[in-house]
Amino acid sequence: MQVSVDRDRCCSSGLCALNAPEIFDQDEQDGRVMLRQTVFRPGQFADIRLAGELCPCGAITVTEGVSPADGTADAQAGTGS
Amino acid sequence: MTTTPPTPAATAVPLPAPHDNRCPFSPPPAYTEAARTSSVSRAELPDGSPCWLVTGYPEVRTVLSDRRFSADARHPAFPLFTPERRELFAENPSFIRLDDPEHARLRRMVTGDFLVKRVEAMRPGIQEIVDETLDRMTDGATEADLVGSFALPVPSLVICLLLGVPYEDREMFQSLSRTLLNTFAGVGEISRANDELLDYLGGLAAHKKEHPAEDILSRLAARDDLTLREIAATGILLLVAGHETTANMIGLSTVLLLDRPEQKAKLADPAALPGAVEELLRHTTIVHTGLPRVAVEDVELDGTLIRAGEGVFAMLSTANRDELMFGGEDRLPADDVDLDRDARRHLAFGFGVHQCLGQPLARAELQIALGTLFHRLPGLRLAVPHSELVFRPDSVVYGLKSLPVAW
């Protein structure tokens, strides 16, 4: 799983930091999203998906199955396909 | 069940539609009926002009998050119950009625004050306010108006502390706030209330520029990229939204729980409080009038073409009763309260870039206020028959005018 955040879109609802505090944090100044991790355990996937779904301004993009943690797609990432 | 083909042109839903007095906790029946037929229905404003009523969960999310729908009330087609108020918005818009980038510039000046972490750190202070307010309410008494002695004081005290507004001025700002939220108040009355609050908060900000304290108004006053008028408009928004919404949620939630002892019993477990509050937010959805927007481009929504320049009301209350989203075999129907429901996908705080910025604070206040109230007063009960409760259907923020209770 891969997660990217778009701070320009973020409206600081804090829902990601509330529902997935291990993964997301908020900037002290204006509350905008910050990623605390880039590699995720399968046990965190449900929280991450919920954070992506709840984000009111589409600032969180969750891409399934592309991180080393779930051990699937990354092996093929460098094949140029 | 029979299905009726949508007949959109035949009957436009009148806005704002009245509540059914027999079901004061449900959205007005006209909205629920419209939602049963279609996610997007024709509606009509009090002055007879047409607009759209959007009632479905996914469609409400789209209206509130798609930039083809504008929240700028200065747009000549922005739907207003009283179009005379347009001028008011044009003069001193708060960021709730602006689009990005203007909206984001102003909103980001205060979002740092409502960080999840910062609100967590405020919990002991909120608990103290709740405890002291309950002490005062119960001191030598066995009955009280819960709205006046608890539901309204708690969030008013909290937002006063945060903003730097003297709590002694509460009668003035609470009464002016009620006028601003009244759907049917005359434009003269609204305009005076707005001017009075602008002058009051502008005056406070000017004072704080010279004598800063640890509060939001002082911090805004110290900036050189904001006018006093902008600070005052932001101050009104935070002050009104900061006390009226939570106060009405506390009052309505209390009645819902007193009516359902088996649900109320679940609050005994502190770990159940956060989920319970999400469910109460979902079921209650105090912004019964919906959120207005205007389409700035043509948009197709669930098969209906909404043209640029047409007004739309996104109905949070019907979206939050969507059976597909919130029902389930092991759950009570979405029209009922079920504190075991996973209600986290509710839209009670809105959706999109305008979603409530004070939501972490509202959650903390509701969890602490309701948890403490029912813990300390296990014998709490209504002091009048249910039928004598007085609701406020004429307000943008739905609620109870008063709530006589005994313990």
Structural domain harbouring B237: 13-406
Could you list the pLDDT tens digit for every one of the 407 residues in chain B?
A: 444 444 444 589 999 999 998 899 999 999 999 999 999 999 999 999 999 999 999 999 999 999 999 999 999 999 998 887 888 777 778 899 999 999 999 999 999 999 999 999 999 999 999 999 999 999 999 999 999 999 999 999 999 999 999 999 999 999 999 999 998 888 889 999 999 999 999 999 999 999 999 999 999 999 999 999 999 999 999 999 999 999 999 999 999 999 999 999 999 999 999 999 999 999 999 998 999 999 999 999 999 999 999 999 999 999 999 999 999 889 999 999 999 999 999 999 999 999 999 999 999 999 999 999 999 999 999 999 999 999 998 888 999 999 999 99
Residue ranges of chain B whose CB lies within 8 Å of a chain A CB: 64-65, 104, 107-109, 111-112, 114-117, 344-345, 349-357, 359-360, 363
Classify residue B5: in a domain, yes or no.
Answer: no
Cβ–Cβ below 8 Å for A14 and B116: yes
| Nearest CB to A29 within list B112, B345, B355 | B112
Taking contacts as CB-CB distances below 8 angstroms, the residues of chain A near B352 are 11, 56-57
Chain centroid to CA B193: how far?
19
Question: What topology does CATH give the domain A2-74?
Answer: Alpha-Beta Plaits (3.30.70)
Distances (CA, A) of B386 to B253, B337, B379: 14, 18, 17
The C-alpha atoms of residue A18 and residue A23 are separated, in whole angstroms, by: 10
Q: Please judge whether A56 and B108 are an interchain contact, meaning their C-beta atoms are less than 8 angstroms apart.
A: no
Considering only CB atoms, B115 lies closest to which of A14, A50, A57, namely A14
Distance CA B315, CA B43 (A): 12
Instruction: Tell me the pairing of strands A24-26 and A33-35.
Output: antiparallel
Domains in chain B: how many in total? Answer: 1
Backbone angles phi, psi at B244, to 5 degrees: -65, -40
Residue B7 lies in a domain: no
From chain A, which residues contact B within 8 Å (Cβ)?
11-15, 17-19, 21, 26-32, 50, 53-54, 56-58
In a domain, B158, yes or no: yes
- Closest-CA residue of A relative to B359 is A13
Domains of chain A, residue spans:
2-74
Please tell me which residue of chain B has the smallest CA distance to A24. B116
**What is d(CA B325, CA B342) in angstroms, rounded to the nearest whole number?**
10
Interface test with A, best of B61, B69, B99, B111 (most A CBs within 10 A): B111
For residues B239 and B177, is the Cβ–Cβ distance under 8 A? Answer: yes
Give the residue from chain B lying closest to A9, CA to CA. Answer: B353
Here the CATH number for the domain that contains residue B373 is 1.10.630.10
In-domain check, residue B245? yes
Q: Is residue B288 part of a domain?
A: yes
